[in-house]
Amino acid sequence: MFGNLGRVQDAERLFDRMEERDPISWNAMISMYSHEGACSKCFMLLSDMCHHGGVRPDVTTLCSLVSVCASSDHLDLGSGIHSLCHRSGLHSSVLVGNALVNMYSAAGNLDEAESLFWSMSRRDVISWNTMISSYVQNGSCVEALQALGQLLRTDEGPPNHMTFSSALGACSSPEALMDGRTVHTMVLQHNLPNNLLIGNSLLTMYSKCNSMEDAERVFQSMPCCDVVSCNVLTGGYSTLEDATNAMRVFLWMRGTGIKPNYITMINLQGSCKSSHDLRSYGMPLHAYITQTGLLSNEYITNSLITMYATCGDLESSSDIFCRIKNKSVISWNAIIVANVRHGRGEEAL
């Protein structure tokens, strides 16, 4: 209980006072340390559990240990746990297999993750989701979509919102637009379009494919949106330098009570590329930022420097820079780029 609440020291004190420790108590502590990323403590407890507690690791133990090794820094330890899974006869567990696939993928060893996945005697939808996500994270987008197709031909569980969210991540470039539309059709066939994660994934896919008409249709059809939805849409319009539509989304946000964050502001500022954009949208946005106290955010302030310079107003850009009390490397980079953009090389130096 204490571990779930993040009260590590309380959990440790309670564990130390226990006269008898059963597998549940050992697993609770190892799981807590795993969630905290305390790899060394997990393995110290494993040693104590086996040598002093007389408790053998079970599926729960192994999953926690595998999870804490899910980085390149701890892959050697993870490989050791993989061997332990075989020695204990628990490698055939779907839960253990899924954790191992995720571990190798997170550590950048896609070949091992793939080999392990296809060698699993049993798989469930989480197994497939893990593998599809692994392909996407490692840039193997074609393989991700092929895996989705294979899942649809198996009886290992129907795809869910996580499946399609990962698969849509494989369609995040203009040349993959048709694949993205195909996955979108699958989403509709499986009655998942109203899921917020799916909606945001569709928005992201269409925005990255520069298909803002499709993105708008998805946005308008979503029963509920959040700040992520709006940021994806404003980001898409910013990429296309469409300040009018980016600001339209912002005004809609304000009307519906969705609170913008610093990403929203950066997207809106990034959409302004001309003196007209600056007068019509950039300056009113600057006023809003000042009124709402967002000017204290370093990223927003530096984005303002860039916006004014991009729109031809280097004087205002320099004035904002001079008003920053604690200038960071990002601030200096922003004003240097602003001066270079206006052909003021000496001032940049």
Which tens digits make up the pLDDT trace of 144-164?
999 999 999 998 889 999 999
pLDDT at residue 324, as a whole number: 84
* pLDDT confidence bin for 188, thresholds 50/70/90: very high
Q: How far apart are the first and last CA of the chain?
A: 57
Count the Cβ atoms, other than its own, within 10 Å of residue 149: 11
| Higher-scoring residue by pLDDT: 4, 129 | 129
**Mean pLDDT, rounded, for 136-142:** 92
Residue range 165-183, pLDDT digits in tens:
999 999 999 999 999 999 9
Whether residue 65 contacts residue 30, with contact meaning beta carbons closer than 8 Å, is answered with yes
pTM: 0.85
| pLDDT higher than threshold 80 for residue 6 | no
User: What's the mean pLDDT when you consider all of the chain?
Assistant: 90
Q: Which helix (H) or strand (E) holds 251?
A: helix 243-256
User: Where does the pLDDT of residue 329 fall: very low under 50, low under 70, confident under 90, or very high at 90 and above?
Assistant: confident
| Pairwise CA distance, residues 115 & 273, whole Å | 49
Q: How much of the chain exceeds pLDDT 90, in percent?
A: 68
Who's near 47: CB < 8 A, 6+ residues apart? none
pLDDT at 1: 44
DSSP per residue, 25-83: HHHHHHHHHHHHT-HHHHHHHHHHHHHTS-----HHHHHHHHHHT-SGGGHHHHHHHHH
Query: What average pLDDT does the segment 8-29 reach?
Result: 85
